Amino acid sequence: MTRLGYTKDQIETAGIDAYNYQGVGCPHLFANIKEGAQVLDVGSGLGVDSFIAAGACGSTGSVIGIDISKGEVLHANTRAESRKSENTIFIQADMEKMPFPDNSFDNVISNGAFCLAPNKERAFREIHRVLKPGGSFSVCCTTLLTRLEDQVNWPVCMRVFMPLKDAEPMLENIGFQDIKVDQSDSTMTLDILVPEDELDQGENNMQSSENSTQPEKKRQGVHVGSPEFSHLKDYDMDKLCARVTLCGTKPC
In tens digits, what is the pLDDT along the chain, a chain of 252 residues?
999 999 999 999 999 999 999 999 999 999 999 999 999 999 999 999 999 999 999 999 999 999 999 999 999 999 999 999 999 999 999 999 999 999 999 999 999 999 999 999 999 999 999 999 999 999 999 999 999 999 999 998 899 999 999 999 999 999 999 999 999 999 987 776 666 655 554 444 433 334 445 555 555 556 666 788 888 888 888 999 999 999 999 999
- Domain contains 102: yes
- Give me the long-range contacts of 150-153 (CB less than 8 A, separation at least 24): 152/231, 153/228, 153/229, 153/231
Same domain, 37 and 148: yes
Rounded distance between C-alpha atoms, residue 136 and residue 90, angstroms: 20
Same domain, 230 and 244: no
Contacts of 27 (CB under 8 A, 6+ apart): 49, 109, 110, 111, 138, 139, 140, 245
The single-letter DSSP state of residue 251 is: -
Same domain, 35 and 145: yes
Same domain, 165 and 204: no
- Predicted pLDDT of residue 198: 53
Rounded distance between C-alpha atoms, residue 124 and residue 239, angstroms: 26
Same domain, 132 and 207: no
Same domain, 147 and 35: yes
Same domain, 219 and 244: no
Same domain, 151 and 224: no
Q: Which residue, 176, 51, 192, is CA-closest to 111?
A: 51
- Predicted pLDDT of residue 43: 98
- Predicted pLDDT of residue 178: 98
- Domain contains 2: no
Same domain, 44 and 110: yes
- Predicted pLDDT of residue 233: 84
105 neighbors 40 (Cβ within 8 angstroms):
yes
Domain that holds residue 77: 8-188+238-249
- Predicted pLDDT of residue 219: 52
The single-letter DSSP state of residue 220 is: -
Q: Which residue, 99, 97, 113, is CA-closest to 47?
A: 113
Same domain, 55 and 93: yes
For the chain, how many structural domains are there in total?
A: 2
